[in-house]
Amino acid sequence: MIRAENLRHVYKSSSGNKVALDGVTFSIGAGEFVAIIGTNGSGKSTLAKHFNALLLPTGGKIFIDELDTTQEENIWRIRENVGMVFQNPDSEIVAAIVEDDVAFGLENLGIEPAQIRERVDLALDAVDMNDYKKFAPSKLSGGQKQRIAIAGVIAMQTKIIVFDEPTAMLDPLGRREILSMVKKLHAQGKTIIYITHFMEEAAAAQRVFVMENGKIILDGTPREIFTNVKEMKRLGFDVPVAVELAERLRKKFKLPPKILTAEELAEALR
């Protein structure tokens, strides 16, 4: 369980202060899959970095399984429980060979070599990259690199995984692969926090946070959030293609309300 109470983050610099999180309160249950959307600069990445204490609150608090990130002695356990996958796969790769890269986090934990090899193999299987374990990461595509980064997190066996726009630099195929991996991890019981600007991806979550100006302004199911087309447009967001299509078709046909997916739209049109 993750709990934020009036969480604030102010970046201080010589050119002035920037309020990036302006009093954010929520709780996320174990095993939930939450997507976070928001315009550029709304505070998504700042929030992401609070989940594993890469940033510390300048006001309010965030608790990861009741561990307060502002208590120095909790940081180690928090980091053992929260894995992070970021946007740019190139900046996440640290080793010259795929299997060493996946093992990196485990070596830092001082785990035995035999166990490291086993966990690395399992993690590479999970992302379907075992054939590449002796490869140089530089030879891989963006999507493959992102899968290696995810394998590194899987190997750590954290309960919570935070993804900060992991598909932003990928092509449609790479995006689909990453999303299907995220769904699989959720099905296995991981808590998933998934930041994206692709509405179709956010629609795959159980719950969506909408951020604006450092605040969570909406918190609901994808159906609640995305079928409110007027509000989404007003806030400057797209809606999933099926929602948009259903909205237009309603001008000519009688369709049920709150259609979210292509499957639902096809069923309604039949």
Residues at the site binding ligand ADP, with contacts judged by CB under 6 A: 11, 13, 18, 20, 38, 40-46
Q: For residues 43 and 211, is the Cβ–Cβ distance under 8 A?
A: yes
The pairing of beta strand 67-68 with beta strand 59-64: antiparallel
Q: How far is the CB of 197 from Mg ion (least distance, A)?
A: 9
Q: Kindly list the distances between the CA atom of residue 47 and the CA atoms of 160, 167, 214, 221, 268, in Å, as whole numbers in the listed order.
A: 14, 18, 9, 20, 38
- Tell whether residue 144 is a contact of Mg ion (CB under 5 A): no
- Separation of alpha carbons 115 and 97, rounded Å: 18
Q: For residues 34 and 207, is the Cβ–Cβ distance under 8 A?
A: yes
Residue 81 contact, options ligand ADP, Mg ion, none, Cβ 5-8 Å cut-off depending on partner type: none
Residue 150 carries which side chain, given as an amino acid letter?
I
Q: How far is the CB of 38 from ligand ADP (least distance, A)?
A: 5
Nearer to ligand ADP, 5 or 22 (CB): 22
Q: Kindly list the distances between the CA atom of residue 76 and the CA atoms of 55, 67, 94, in Å, as whole numbers in the listed order.
A: 14, 10, 21
- Tell whether residue 196 is a contact of Mg ion (CB under 5 A): no
Nearer to ligand ADP, 156 or 205 (CB): 205
Residue 176 contact, options ligand ADP, Mg ion, none, Cβ 5-8 Å cut-off depending on partner type: none
Quick one: 180 exposed, middle or buried, by C-beta within 10 A (0-12, 13-18, 19+)?
exposed
Q: For residues 151 and 129, is the Cβ–Cβ distance under 8 A?
A: yes
Q: For residues 146 and 137, is the Cβ–Cβ distance under 8 A?
A: no
Nearer to ligand ADP, 34 or 98 (CB): 34
Q: How many residues bind Mg ion (CB under 5 A)?
A: 2
Nearer to Mg ion, 42 or 227 (CB): 42
Nearer to ligand ADP, 18 or 183 (CB): 18
Residue 42 contact, options ligand ADP, Mg ion, none, Cβ 5-8 Å cut-off depending on partner type: ligand ADP
Binding residues for Mg ion restricted to 9-68, rule: CB under 5 A: 44-45
Q: How far is the CB of 161 from ligand ADP (least distance, A)?
A: 17
Residues of this chain that bind Mg ion (CB under 5 A)? 44-45
